[in-house]
């Protein structure tokens, strides 16, 4: 991809925040408002994957006076990881914060995350506890690699180790196998060493992949358990549930083939492929019904 038209930011900032939008709706406005109300040394790169809701352009007009905001428009939906990578190549910060457009991050929460990064030299990526409007943590905030035996335990309700970790999340910095991609803070050097997100994931599971690769390099995936971030429901997921689900299942398949030792067995691989896509097909009627009901 030619990025010569998008030079790196000329600003010297401590932090570059990257937000990818794709018909993300009104929640994006509050996400941007909170970030730009901060007194911290930061820049915000809002990279839009061909939205039709008009929100990114409205935000650009509203903050035309604020040099910290840069809006990049893609003429097609590149996917989440490729969009983040494109934005990162233009960023000027020594740290990168990848933030979902439906997350609201207060300045004190941002300071807490940066403080963890400053005092943990082996930190490769730092996550936060993402919560719904009622304050309930998303189980994806603290999880394990989705190895086949764990995924089966989770799906079938069997005893044994599961993907999501049961129990209350400790209000302290803890080591994890994976954190939610809704809030991910990385040293710029680590992001560049990894080559960014694996662009063969379009949407979903690229965060799991990145966490795994950080650990494979001998660095830590950390969860700041005392940092709680409000996370809404994505507009893209609501408006295009089958599209999102298809790419989620594609991501699951890629992660399995790339990282799970069980994929070395051809019979297991065939069974997993059939299981993933059967699960996708079985979900479609319910997704379409809920979409029609909302309309």
Which of 214, 233, 252 terminates a domain? The answer is 233
Q: Smallest Cα–Cα separation from 234: which of 28, 17, 57, 12? A: 28
When divided into structural domains, the chain yields a total of: 2
Domain that holds residue 214: 15-233
Q: Is 102 helix (H, G, I), strand (E, B) or coil?
A: coil
Whether pTM > 0.95 for this model: the answer is: no
Give yes or no for residue 7 having a pLDDT over 60.
no
Same domain, 219 and 247: no
* 6 inside domain: no
Same domain, 266 and 160: no
Give yes or no for residue 6 having a pLDDT over 80.
no
- State pLDDT tens for residues 62-109: 999 999 999 999 999 999 999 999 999 999 999 999 999 999 999 999
Low-confidence winner among 101-105, 216-220, 231-235 (lowest mean pLDDT): 231-235
* 8 inside domain: no
CATH number of domain containing 218? 3.90.550.10
Which of 188, 212, 233 terminates a domain? The answer is 233
Residue 262, burial from CB neighbour count under 10 angstroms (0-12, 13-18, 19+): middle
pLDDT category at 2 given cuts 50, 70, 90 is: very low
- pLDDT attached to residue 1: 37
Which of 233, 254, 273 terminates a domain? The answer is 233
Q: Is 18 helix (H, G, I), strand (E, B) or coil?
A: strand
* 4 inside domain: no
Same domain, 83 and 146: yes
**What average pLDDT score do residues 52-68 get?**
96
């Amino acid at each position: 991809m030619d990025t010569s038209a998008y030079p790196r930011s000329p600003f010297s900032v401590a932090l570059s925040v990257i937000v990818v939008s794709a018909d993300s709706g009104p929640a994006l406005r509050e996400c941007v408002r909170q970030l730009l109300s901060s007194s911290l040394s930061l820049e915000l790169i809002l990279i839009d994957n061909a939205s039709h809701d008009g929100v990114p352009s409205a935000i650009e007009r509203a903050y035309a006076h604020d040099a910290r905001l840069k809006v990049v428009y893609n003429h097609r939906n590149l996917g989440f990881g490729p969009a983040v990578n494109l934005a990162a190549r233009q960023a000027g910060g020594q740290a990168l914060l990848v933030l979902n457009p439906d997350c609201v991050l207060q300045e004190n929460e941002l300071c807490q995350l940066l403080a963890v990064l400053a005092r943990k030299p082996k930190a490769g990526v730092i996550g936060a506890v993402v919560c719904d409007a009622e304050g309930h943590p998303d189980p994806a905030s603290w999880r394990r690699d989705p190895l086949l035996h764990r995924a089966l335990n989770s799906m079938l309700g069997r005893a044994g180790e599961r993907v999501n970790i049961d129990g209350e999340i400790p209000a302290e910095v803890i080591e994890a196998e994976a954190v939610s991609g809704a809030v991910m803070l990385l040293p710029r050097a680590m992001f560049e060493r990894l080559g960014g997100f694996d662009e063969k994931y379009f949407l979903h599971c690229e965060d799991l992949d990145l966490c795994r690769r950080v650990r494979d390099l001998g660095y830590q995936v950390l969860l700041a358990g005392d940092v709680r971030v409000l996370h809404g429901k994505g507009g893209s997921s609501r408006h295009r549930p089958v599209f999102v689900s298809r790419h989620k299942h594609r991501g699951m398949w890629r992660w399995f083939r790339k990282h799970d030792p069980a994929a070395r067995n051809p019979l297991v691989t065939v069974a997993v492929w059939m299981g993933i896509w059967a699960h996708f097909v079985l979900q479609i009627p319910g997704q379409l019904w809920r979409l029609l009901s909302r309309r």
